[in-house]
Amino acid sequence: TTLLRVIAGLENLTSGSLVVNDLKLYSKSDFFKNEIVFLSKPLVFLQNKTVLENVKYAYYVRNKKNTSIDFDSILNEFDLTDIKDKKVKTLSYYEKVKVAIARASLREFTFLLADELFDGFSESEVMQIVKYIKKIKFATLILTSKLPLNIEGLEFKSIKLNAGYVA
Convert the pLDDT of each residue in 118-131 to its tens digit. Answer: 888 888 888 888 88
Q: Tell me the C-alpha distance between 77 and 128, whole Å.
A: 12
Smallest CA-to-CA distance from 48 within 12, 86, 18 is with 86
pLDDT digits (tens, 9 = 90+) for 5-51: 877 778 777 777 777 667 666 655 556 666 788 898 889 899 999 99
pTM recorded for the entire structure? 0.82
Give the C-alpha separation, 36 to 32, whole Å.
Answer: 6
What's the full length of the chain, in residues?
167
On the question of a cis peptide bond just before residue 148, with omega within 30 degrees of 0, the verdict is no
